[in-house]
Structure 1
Amino acid sequence: MTDRQTQIDEYVATWNEPDPNRRLAMIEKVWTEDGFYVDRGAEACGHAQISANIDRVHRKFPDRIYGRTSAIFNHRERSRFEWAIIDPTGRPTFGGVAYAKFAADGRLRSIIGFFGPIPDEVR
């Protein structure tokens, strides 16, 4: 079993990988095959859909970095952390909170993302 901080940090790294093949390999390591990601603008189930969703966000917000902006809080098989999409000047474009659920082997089973306020210029 892998520790949760490592899994979450590797999950965050998938959002920053521009190469689709490398990103998919990272996703396969971090997520269960039936892993499920959902936020207010997307639902993705399985490795290929999760990677496609990340690619969609890359196209919408080019040159941004996805980062974890808080400590990780754990409770049983779940964790919570704050995140932000950061522009090239280091300013957060927007952010929110993610809730993760882990499988018995330590891989991610699901992530539910909640957004904070989204500026009009990025809607």
Structure 2
Amino acid sequence: MTATAIHAERYLAAWNTTDPAARRAAVEEVFADAARYTDPLVDVRGHDAIDATIAAVQQQFPGFVFRLAGPVDAHHHQLRFTWHLGPEGAEPPITGFDAAVVDDEGRITTVLGFLDRVPAAA
């Protein structure tokens, strides 16, 4: 399956899902069973660890939402995109960049995340 912007949108939607049961369902839909998520703060594998990572970010930044910060660049099984994290309708204090790989079923197998701008206390 060729990666598309829809993969990035579904990925960020999973990060924005705050209801635990709905978030877990989104994680299982978006990520392959043995998916790996790595950024400067965490390196985890599998649905349980990815779900726990998302929950921890939501707890650390209550009320913040992820949104695309520009176009998604995708080809073959890979995509890259920049995102913002912050309160809805306000200047986002956090910006990052992710590269991801999808499998033949369209589920994410790998995410490599980078933090470009973070508040001093984050």
TM-score after normalising by structure 2: 0.91
Residue aligning to 1:32: 32
Q: Aligned partner of 1:94: which letter?
A: I
Residue 14 of structure 2 corresponds to which residue in structure 1?
A: 14
**Residue correspondences, number:** 122
Provide structure 1 residue ranges, at least 5 long, that are not aligned to the other structure.
none
Asked whether the 8 Å contact 2:82–2:96 carries over to 1, the reply is yes
1:60 equivalent in structure 2: 60
Q: Secondary structure at the match of 1:110?
A: strand
Per the alignment, in what secondary structure is the counterpart of residue 82 of structure 1? strand
CA distance in structure 2 between the aligned counterparts of 1:119 and 1:55, rounded to whole angstroms: 19
Deviation at 1:70, TM superposition (A): 1.2
Would you say the 8 A contact 2:66–2:86 is kept in 1? yes
Identity %: 28
Counterpart Cα distance in 1 of 2:93 and 2:23: 22
Q: Aligned-pair distance for 1:7?
A: 2.1
1:21-51: CA deviation from partner (whole Å, max 9, x where unpaired): 1111011111110011110001221111111
Pairwise CA RMSD of aligned residues? 1.6
- In the superposition, the TM-score normalised over structure 1's length comes to 0.91
| Separation in structure 1 between the aligned mates of residue 10 and residue 41 of structure 2, nearest angstrom | 22
What is the match of residue 108 of structure 1? 108
Shift of 1:68: 1.3
Deviations 1:56-106 (A, max 9, x none): 001111110111111110132111000110124511111111001111111
For the residues of structure 2 that align with 1:23 and 1:57, how far apart are their CA atoms? 13
